[in-house]
Structure 1
């Protein structure tokens, strides 16, 4: 069916305007991003096909440039556009944290860390630097490693925390395996960081481990 022949209330753009983005399916949201279909296939049909081929929106969004561009209806222009959208989403979440909003909501902090770290193919160690009101001063990925480990240097974390005049920090890292359960090595490096930071009166408020859709908090486990 040609898209223009569908009832107006069924068109993704009109549905979003009238009912809000949360009312749309994954295929409808993807159709708005794609804008046009291909020969013999309207944009909704194309979106359905792409979701079937990739398996999910997340898999499509985390596909490499080569994987993305080899599918009919996609290409380099769409890949660039998608990367821009994803980066804007991460910056939006980061700005919410930097305004201090996010730390009033543990759930929002989890969403942000999932967006930042979940789909990385290598382990990354991330630090949020906070002032004495627990507002975010700065945030950055300080160390990156292999698919199952990242070397973390407490001296560098202390140095950066002092540069930001931080009163406390929140630590986070991902497990590319998708399993969020902290390892003994995770617990050891957290203790080393806590000991090093305590020498300059900086506290660790929490350490989050990000897996595939799950985030484990050291503070909630009673380990901090």
Structure 2
């Protein structure tokens, strides 16, 4: 008679899952860094889904792009409940200037699974757009990641 041991998911399992998602996101990023650009909303949604869906709390991130919309860097900047008080435009502008980015795409997750942008999300995006306009850096999109992804650009909000 054989005895089987079944293991339950542990922290190491979670770390492995995290590594798989990070690897998938990096493969997508490498593909776009090699020639294609992040000007296709579906590619951006796929990339941000891999990066942000793994978090159980809200995370606000920025994709820093060059003038041809190749990815320079991806940074997760703010954690916890994302609202206009917890995201500092000054910090976003600092990262944009330090990376010499020519454009940005914002992303954040809704752990509830509902990707519908809130009024606070729209106000925050507007504040960040205004701050970045002072240094001539456009916001190409803001993607909210839930079970699906919602694009501000596709809704005509940018």
- Give the TM-score category using the shorter length: 0.7 to 0.9
Aligned: 1:117 with 2:52: yes
Q: Does the 8 Å CA contact 1:126/1:173 hold for their aligned counterparts?
A: yes
Gaps spanning 5+ residues in structure 2: where? Answer: none
Secondary structure in structure 2 of the residue aligned to 1:111:
helix
Please give the alpha-carbon distance, in whole angstroms, between the structure 1 residues aligned to 2:91 and 2:15. 34
Secondary structure in structure 2 of the residue aligned to 1:221:
coil
Aligned counterpart for 2:34 among listed residues 93, 96, 99: 99
Higher RCO (C-alpha under 8 Å, 6+ residues apart): 2
Q: What aligned pairs does 1:183-202 form with structure 2 within 5 A after superposition?
A: 183-202=118-137
Q: TM-score, normalised by structure 2?
A: 0.85
| Bigger proportion of residues as helix | 1
Q: TM-score, normalised by structure 1?
A: 0.61
Aligned counterpart for 1:218 among listed residues 146, 149, 152: 152
Aligned: 1:108 with 2:33: no
Please give the alpha-carbon distance, in whole angstroms, between the structure 1 residues aligned to 2:28 and 2:61. 15
Task: Please provide the CA RMSD for this pair.
Answer: 2.6
Query: Radius of gyration: which is bigger?
Result: 1
Gaps spanning 5+ residues in structure 1: where? Answer: 1-38, 51-65, 70-74
Please give the alpha-carbon distance, in whole angstroms, between the structure 2 residues aligned to 1:79 and 1:203. 36
| Bigger proportion of residues as strand | 2
Detail structure 1 runs of 4+ shifted over 6 Å in the superposition.
none
Describe the shift of the 1:104–1:143 C-alpha distance in structure 2 as closer, same or farther (beyond 3 A): same
Please give the alpha-carbon distance, in whole angstroms, between the structure 2 residues aligned to 1:133 and 1:171. 17
